[in-house]
Structure 1
Amino acid sequence: MRFSGWHDALVGVSGEMRAWLIDRHSLTQRITRRCADFAVQEIHQRDARPSLDEADMAGVGVQQRALLRDVFLCCGTTPVVFAHSVLPYSSLTDRWANLGRLGNRPLGAALFADPMVKRECLQFRKIDRRHPLYHQAVAVVAEPPAYLWARRSLFTLSTRRILVTEVFLPDIVTL
């Protein structure tokens, strides 16, 4: 895999943010336990080429396109997580055939509901304005911080893969 700045070990973060980042269970469920008014706000879903390191991890060829989905996970009207998913077209079959039509429904709920889906190891990264996902994530933040913490993981079902990246916004620690 190409070097991408993502790390298997989480270093340099503690407290409540660390607890959010290392939790391997459903992020959707964790937020809904703390927020009665949970919502998914779809930003856009498009046919595009993932970045090189995303393509490597998701098993998409360099010239291949995939379905890219960007959403905010919100507590009420407050976005707390920006989620970016790479759904290779070859993965959108059988039990995953409907994942390309979720709209404002959470992808995580569908993935964690299936006991056959496996979550690979988490990777972590501090992203700043040099990272393309940073700009999308802070579009709703009144005073963007210098950096945000992000994690990503690969979900597999047999030979199919979906890559999910979650960027934690500052208000996540207030839940």
Structure 2
Amino acid sequence: MTTELYPAPTFPVSEPLKWQAPDKVELTSTQHDWLCFEGSLTQRLKSNCGHFEVRLLGQQEMLPHNEECRRLKQSQPAVVREVLLYCDGKPWVFARSIFAKSAENNEQLQLSELGNRSLGDSLFQREDLTSGPIEVATVAESHVIGKLNQQWFSQSKPLLGRRRIFSTAGEQLLVSEIFLTSSPLYDHVLEVQSK
């Protein structure tokens, strides 16, 4: 039933976004609380719903977007992984992760075997995990994720996303997450505008 209600988009899904510091975007207190949360998003989502699941859209080696290459300071093909995070049968978050082929093959990380399991669960179990500063983006209705949101929830409004770089086991992973209107991020939504 879930599959019929929310047909999976064709991988790869995401398009480039303009990422900036959280203080450059007008956020409600609820939005700031979710976007700037430092812990595991997977664990937080699980605590806010009865049933959590991950749906893998795709994971394969390709060239990331130009701005993602600049953020990672590399211009080589990398492994791109895109998933939807579902809570109680509804997609709440679209997530995109980028990491080197060496990270996918790293026996400590076992990223090649994740499938429909959460990357966050895997990362936050590691004692050597560190993360960089959080960046935030406004996702326009015309963006592919905005269009999906409209298709699934009949709501046409800007969405919000966040990303940061994680470092572990000698590897770097760029993880971005876009919150759909079904998520608690928009409980007290106001107009989202860049300053």
TM-score class normalised by the smaller sequence: 0.7 to 0.9
Q: Map 1:86-97; keep pairs closer than 5 Å.
A: 86-92=98-104, 93-96=106-109
- The answer to whether the Cα contact below 8 Å between 2:146 and 2:156 also exists between their aligned partners in 1 is no
- The answer to whether the Cα contact below 8 Å between 1:38 and 1:75 also exists between their aligned partners in 2 is yes
Higher strand share: 1
Q: Which runs of 5+ in 2 are unaligned?
A: 1-16, 188-195
Correspondence 1:58 to 2:69:
no
Correspondence 1:100 to 2:97:
no
Is the deviation greater in 38-47 or in 105-114?
38-47
TM-score by length of 1: 0.85
User: Cα deviations across residues 39-75 of structure 1 (Å, max 9, x unaligned)?
Assistant: 11111222211001111222432xx211111111111
Correspondence 1:20 to 2:31:
no
Q: Percent identity?
A: 27
Shift in CA distance, 51/171, structure 1 to aligned 2, threshold 3 Å: same
Q: Map 1:102-141; keep pairs closer than 5 Å.
A: 102-129=114-141, 131=143, 134-135=146-147, 138=149, 141=152
Distance 1:166 1:67 in 2: 17
Q: Which runs of 5+ in 1 are unaligned?
A: none
Counterpart in 2 of 1:143? 154
Aligned CA RMSD, in angstroms, stands at: 2.2
Shift in CA distance, 132/59, structure 1 to aligned 2, threshold 3 Å: farther
Quick one: which of 173, 176, 185 aligns to 1:162? 173
- The answer to whether the Cα contact below 8 Å between 1:59 and 1:161 also exists between their aligned partners in 2 is no
Correspondence 1:37 to 2:48:
no
Counterpart in 1 of 2:93? 81
TM-score by length of 2: 0.77
User: 1:91, CA displacement in angstroms?
Assistant: 2.6
Shift in CA distance, 158/8, structure 1 to aligned 2, threshold 3 Å: farther
User: 1:168, CA displacement in angstroms?
Assistant: 0.5
Could you say what secondary structure the match of 1:95 adopts?
A: coil
User: 1:86, CA displacement in angstroms?
Assistant: 0.6
Shift in CA distance, 36/55, structure 1 to aligned 2, threshold 3 Å: same
Is the deviation greater in 153-162 or in 4-13?
4-13
User: 1:143, CA displacement in angstroms?
Assistant: 1.5
Could you say what secondary structure the match of 1:171 adopts?
A: coil
